[in-house]
Amino acid sequence: MRITFRIVLSIIVVVSAIAFLLTLWQVQQEKEGLRRDLDRRTSLLAESLRETIEPLVGQPQTARIQQIVEKFGNREKLAGVAVYDAKDHLIAITPALAPQLPTIPSLIPEAMNADRGTGGFVHIGNTRMYLYALSFHREAVVTGAVVIFYDATYLQDHLSRIWKNNFVGFLVQALLISLTTLFVVRWSIVGSIAKMAEWMKRLRTDTTAEPLHFPDGDMFEPLTKEVAQMARSVLAARASAEEEARLRQAAESLWTPARLKEHVRTLLSEKSLFVISNREPYIHVRKGTQIECVVPPSGLVTALEPILKVCGGVWIAHGSGDADREVADQQDKLRVPTEDPQYVLKRVWLTKGEEKGYYYGFSNEGLWPLCHIAHTRPIFRIDDWEYYQIVNTKFAEATLAELEGIDEPVVLVQDYHFALLPRLIKERRPDARVGLFWHIPWPNPESFSICPWQRELVHGMLGADLIGFHIQFHCNNFLDTVDRTLESRIVWEHFAVRRGRQTTYVKPFPISIAFPDHGEAQLMKPPATISKGSLLGGLGVKARFLGVGVDRLDYTKGILERLRAVERFLEKYPTYLNEFTFVELGAPSRTSIKHYHDLIAEVEAECDRINWRFQTEEWKPIILLKKHHSHEEIAPFYEAADVCLVTSLHDGMNLVAKEYVAAREDEQGVLILSRFTGASRELRDALIVNPYNIEQMAEAIRSAVEMDAEEQQARMRKMRHVLKEQNVYRWAANLITELAQIRIEKGSIAKS
């Protein structure tokens, strides 16, 4: 009530002040206008009188002059007329004015002395008058003056009415504005805040709080963000506490953000993690005059982001956005996420040449096809290799600068872009605990021997204390490669490599995602999810069944094989024509590399060919949505799809499969999963297929759309249980625990 009273009082005071100033200005303008009008009228009358009287002055015509004066003095609002000679003697005057004018006003001699018309306000008796004096002549000599007296009291009355009318009008407006404001405050602001407060109270006291409908509009945006973040924190804390209590009761072990945070704090004694990757978790790009923050489509980001949010630390990555420099500080850092900063992002800048040679060249035209057995020939160029070494050194310098002053830091290097980095860090900081996680497959020794610089790469990797792969098979391939490439001792019973005084352990750590908390997800999502019909309707088609694929447009993802499987399914089972639509959410990737550019054109051509063959006016078998999609854009497709196809020709893990399972809170839907993904080792209740076998995939699609709800639920429930148990927090806990428990040996580092 006090706030409302203050608002209303403030409005009244402000409007009154504005009314006063505007009225004052209007009165001044009106006063000037009336003054000019009086001056004009009196000067015209004076000119007319002078022409009549001037020839009579100095002649024995005093009576005649008096008659003229009396005649002119009878006009409306004219108080009178007087005529004086050059010696200030009164010659003639209006009878009604004579008693009020015992002496000559000073303005009259001034006008005769100046020999020009002069006007001004004077008080004669109790009356305010406007006086105008105009001299007249004989033979160029001033012989007197004619004076006009105008009653000016009406001016004051007019100005008083302006004050009264304006001020009353403005006060009425103030009252109306105050009442309107009071209504708006009560209805849209106080009411919304009261609802939000009541919702927060129920959130605090009751676990069954309904979804919050946040007020719209820029005014509520800061409050909305903070309330949403607070709600997530409260729900996460409550869910974690409840889960911990349940686990203690059931003697189970589930990794939660709170448990991981406490675990890491115990292991690292409050020391921060240092994560190094090529891909940054947030990219700032310019859209017109605005800067937009974008989360890139990346399995690595999906997996690592929750860890840094929980544990804090520094994420060092390539600043690739065109507005990245503008938002970073002088040390090339910023705290992220923007809405709730929890860790530091440090950006490393690369030249166009460095990016082309190190990233597009050696990493993605060389190592990527080398490690993925997808029958694409790797390309190795000496210039690309030199850039790869330069960029690894640049990242090493940036990392070492961050490690200054920190004893026994913990560093997690990510992926094939930085095979040389562990050695570069370890040589300068032998006390550092360095882990390398290789997110892609590792081929057999014969395949890897294609690389001209295999010795240098393996030597650089063995600078790490711990090397992690997704599955044991890749660990075995790596150890076989080391055995054939470098002089070393392989300790197979411990899966370790001994070189000089350094030991590198090689172990599998199947990466995962942050399994969503059911209560938080339900509370923070919109009250109604988008239906399958709405999704397809928005794409301009009608269908009964929806299939979905979510990929970077990469030749390792088996997208062409997937499209041909959909075509074969429709060939074999024509009853599903007009019934089944497959939507591919494809994010263009590495388009400056010719093979990727050609792949996009081939995917588009294949979609067009299949659609041309089967489509009708209201239906298409395949829809390609070629752009980068946010998690919010992808989620409705996960939730609505009857089947999700993950048909990679070779993949270290593939988190799309896990994201689809995590999204299916309704325990419906079927996952078709390639046997050549790491995820197939865990999600055994998916329909496992050989992506090269088009017939098998077509049959899997038929099985998926015809599977009854009970079987879907049984399969999905098991996969969700596995995913919940084997979440990203367990992955991080296992990786960091192994790294923290490694004994750092003092001594020389092995040279290649």
Residue 170 has pLDDT above 80, yes or no: no
Same domain, 568 and 452: no
Domain that holds residue 29: 2-157
So what's the pLDDT on residue 744? 79
Same domain, 313 and 285: yes
So what's the pLDDT on residue 238? 62
In terms of pLDDT, which residue wins out, 308 or 565?
565
Same domain, 96 and 223: no
Q: Are the CB atoms for 705 and 577 separated by under 8 Å?
A: no
The share of the chain scoring above pLDDT 70, in percent, equals 86
Upstream peptide bond of 337 is cis (omega within 30 degrees of 0): yes
Residue 203 has pLDDT above 70, yes or no: no
Averaged pLDDT for residues 511-533 = 66
Residues 6+ apart with CB under 8 A from 747: 500, 501, 502
pLDDT, one tens digit per residue, over 58-92 is 666 677 777 777 777 666 667 788 888 877 777 88
Question: Is 642 in a helix, a strand, or coil?
Answer: coil
The share of the chain scoring above pLDDT 90, in percent, equals 51
Phi-psi region of 669 (alpha: psi -120 to 50; beta: other; left: phi over 0): left
Give the chain's mean pLDDT: 85
DSSP characters over 208-245: TPPPP-PPPSGGGHHHHHHHHHHHHHHHHHHHHHHHHH
pLDDT-derived band of residue 643, with 50, 70 and 90 as boundaries? very high
Question: Which residue among 108, 125, 157 closes a domain?
Answer: 157
Same domain, 317 and 444: yes
Same domain, 474 and 533: no
Question: Which residue among 112, 137, 157 closes a domain?
Answer: 157
Same domain, 133 and 244: no
Query: Rounded to an integer, what distance in angstroms lies between the CA atom of residue 470 and that of residue 729?
Result: 15
Question: Is 336 in a helix, a strand, or coil?
Answer: strand
So what's the pLDDT on residue 247? 53
Contacts within 8 Å (CB) and 24+ apart, 10-17: 11/174, 11/177, 11/178, 11/181, 12/174, 12/175, 12/178, 15/170, 15/171, 15/173, 15/174, 15/177, 16/170, 16/171, 16/174
pLDDT, one tens digit per residue, over 399-452 is 999 999 888 899 999 999 999 999 999 999 999 999 999 999 999 999 999 999
Kind and range of the H or E run holding 504: strand 502-508
362 found inside a domain: no
17 found inside a domain: yes
Same domain, 283 and 423: yes
Same domain, 65 and 121: yes
Cβ atoms within 10 Å, residue 452? 12
| CATH number where 17 lies | 3.30.450.20
Same domain, 658 and 534: yes
191 found inside a domain: no
355 found inside a domain: no
- The first and second tokens of residue 483, run together, are 């055995």
50 found inside a domain: yes
So what's the pLDDT on residue 201? 66
Query: Which of 16-30, 192-206, 432-446, 578-592 is least confident?
Result: 192-206
So what's the pLDDT on residue 523? 46
Same domain, 148 and 233: no
| CATH number where 718 lies | 3.40.50.2000
Residue 480 has pLDDT above 90, yes or no: yes
Which stretches of 269-335 are DSSP H helices?
Answer: 299-311, 324-327
Distances in Å between the alpha carbon of 323 and those of 289, 394, 459?
A: 11, 21, 37
Residues 6+ apart with CB under 8 A from 615: 621
Residues 189-228: b if buried by 16+ CB within 10 A, e if exposed: beebeeebeebbeebeeeeebeebebbeeeebeeebeebb
Same domain, 239 and 328: no
pLDDT, one tens digit per residue, over 585-628 is 999 988 888 889 999 999 999 999 999 999 999 999 999 999 98
Cβ atoms within 10 Å, residue 17? 11
Query: Which of 7-11, 38-42, 89-93, 533-537 is least confident?
Result: 7-11
185 found inside a domain: no
So what's the pLDDT on residue 310? 82
Question: Which residue among 141, 157, 173 closes a domain?
Answer: 157
494 found inside a domain: yes
In terms of pLDDT, which residue wins out, 678 or 137?
678
| Torsions phi, psi for 592 (to 5 deg) | -75, -15
In terms of pLDDT, which residue wins out, 526 or 194?
194
Same domain, 468 and 557: no
Averaged pLDDT for residues 489-511 = 94
Phi-psi region of 500 (alpha: psi -120 to 50; beta: other; left: phi over 0): left
Averaged pLDDT for residues 190-217 = 60
Q: Are strands 127-138 and 622-626 parallel, antiparallel or unpaired?
A: unpaired
Residues 6+ apart with CB under 8 A from 148: 42, 45, 46, 49, 78, 81, 131, 132, 133
Q: How many domains does the chain have?
A: 4
Residue 467 has pLDDT above 80, yes or no: yes
So what's the pLDDT on residue 521? 47
So what's the pLDDT on residue 746? 63
**What does R_g of the chain's alpha carbons equal in angstroms?**
44
pLDDT-derived band of residue 524, with 50, 70 and 90 as boundaries? very low
